[in-house]
């Protein structure tokens, strides 16, 4: 059997044949039946060709970028595994869960900043990875991961084996912030927690409200230490970009973008 490389040649062949047939039809209309259709028809064909070419170029760039990101995920995983061997089976990464390049940013900041108190908004594979790193390094840092969905809080809790790490079920609660109503995790579960020096914001999910992660800083600012770093994921999304603008305006934060597949921004004062 002959193996053909995967190409879109069949599509281009079909486009050339269809264009040929259309040209013949336009010529018959114009010179056979006397309908003045040739020039408008050519104009329409050229327009369709331009739109299609633009779309193809867009797809080529998208494909190239996703290839770069795929490679980065492998490299990030290799880097993580060079630091520690997980003692549990890790859940699937990417999609809704954290991607390896984001997890690598978290672990790098753990090493460079040596936080004593870590809080995560949105538990999952990131919580497991952080708990494993803390355990491997013998760190006594306290680590709390909030989740508004009990099912996911329980799933993550089963795999968080470090006694200094805790997954807290924190259902969404209504808050009034700046005269508007917002939903966010019930922060009363963090009542005894303060001087947070690493705040990771990867939840709640965007479907709960517009600018879903905005309340994180207004609600937790008072609990942050002076040297706190704030790491926000999914910053390729318009909502998260707007949230950063709002936080910078309201809290005067510095921000640095990390090149990850979903976009990650690190902020500090
Ligand atoms: C962006 S995810 C949190 C990701 C987490 N930081 C991680 O690295 O996996 C936000 C929320 O989605 C929910 N979630 C987690 N895994 C999920 C899944 N497989 N399908 C749907 N929702 C999920 C959880 O409630 C979680 O808090």
User: pLDDT tens digits for 148-158?
Assistant: 999 999 999 99
Residues 45 and 123 in one domain: no
Phi, psi of 206, rounded to the nearest 5 degrees: -65, -15
With residue 73 as reference, give the H or E element that holds it.
helix 38-83
Residue 2 included in any domain: no
Q: Are strands 172-177 and 264-268 parallel, antiparallel or unpaired?
A: unpaired
Are 122 and 65 in a shared domain?
Answer: no
106 & 65 share domain? no
For 46-84, write each residue's pLDDT tens digit.
999 899 889 989 999 999 999 999 999 999 999 999 999
Q: What is the pLDDT of residues 85-137, one digit of tens each?
A: 999 999 999 999 999 999 999 999 999 999 999 999 999 999 999 999 999 99
Provide, rounded to the nearest whole percent, the portion of the chain with pLDDT above 70: 97
Residue 96 CA, ligand 1 centroid: distance in Å: 5
Q: Is the pLDDT of residue 257 over 80?
A: yes
Same structural domain, 16 and 123: no
Domain count, the chain: 2
Pocket residue to mutate for ligand 1, from 100, 167, 203, 261, most atoms within 8 A of Cβ: 203
Task: Assign residue 107 the CATH number of its domain.
Answer: 3.40.50.150
Give yes or no: residues 32 and 153 share one domain: no
What is the residue-averaged pLDDT of the chain?
Answer: 94
Together in a domain, 130 and 255: yes
Range of the domain at 120: 93-268
18 and 133 part of one domain: no
Once rounded to an integer, what is the mean pLDDT over residues 182-194? Answer: 96
Q: Which residues line ligand 1 (CB under 6 A)?
A: 96-98, 122-126, 147-149, 152, 202-203, 205
Beta-carbon contacts of 146 under 8 Å, excluding residues fewer than 6 positions away, are: 119, 120, 121, 122, 123, 168, 170, 185, 189, 190, 203
Three-class SS state of 89: coil
- The Å distance, Cα 54 to ligand 1 centre, comes to 35
Same domain assignment for residues 73 and 124? no
From CA 228, how far away is CA 267, in angstroms rounded? 9
Q: Distance from the CA of 97 to the center of ligand 1, in angstroms?
A: 5
Average pLDDT over residues 151-166: 96
Identify the pLDDT of residue 148. 97
Using DSSP's 3-state secondary structure scheme, residue 166 falls into strand
């Amino acid at each position: 059997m002959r193996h053909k490389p995967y190409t879109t040649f069949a599509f281009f062949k079909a486009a050339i044949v269809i264009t040929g047939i259309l040209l013949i039809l336009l010529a018959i209309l114009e010179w056979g039946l006397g309908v003045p259709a040739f020039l408008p028809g050519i104009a329409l064909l050229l327009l369709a060709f331009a739109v299609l070419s633009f779309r193809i170029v867009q797809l080529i760039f998208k494909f190239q970028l996703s290839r770069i990101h795929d490679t980065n995920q492998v490299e990030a995983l290799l880097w993580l595994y060079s630091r520690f061997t997980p003692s549990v089976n890790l859940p699937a990464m990417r999609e809704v869960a954290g991607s390896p390049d984001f997890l690598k940013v978290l672990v790098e900041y753990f090493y460079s900043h040596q936080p004593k108190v870590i809080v995560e908004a949105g538990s999952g594979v990131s919580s497991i990875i952080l708990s494993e790193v803390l355990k491997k390094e013998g760190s006594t840092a306290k680590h709390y991961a909030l989740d508004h969905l009990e099912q996911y809080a329980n799933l993550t809790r089963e795999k968080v084996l470090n006694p200094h790490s805790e997954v807290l079920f924190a259902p969404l609660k209504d808050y009034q912030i700046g005269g508007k109503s917002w939903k966010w995790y019930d922060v009363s579960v963090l009542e005894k927690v303060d001087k947070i020096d690493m705040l990771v914001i990867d939840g709640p999910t965007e479907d709960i409200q517009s600018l879903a992660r905005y309340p994180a800083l207004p609600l937790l600012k008072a609990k942050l230490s002076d040297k706190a770093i704030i790491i926000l994921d999914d910053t390729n999304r318009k909502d998260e970009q707007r949230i950063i603008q709002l936080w910078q305006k309201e809290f005067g934060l510095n921000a640095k973008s990390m090149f990850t597949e979903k976009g990650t921004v690190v902020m500090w004062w």
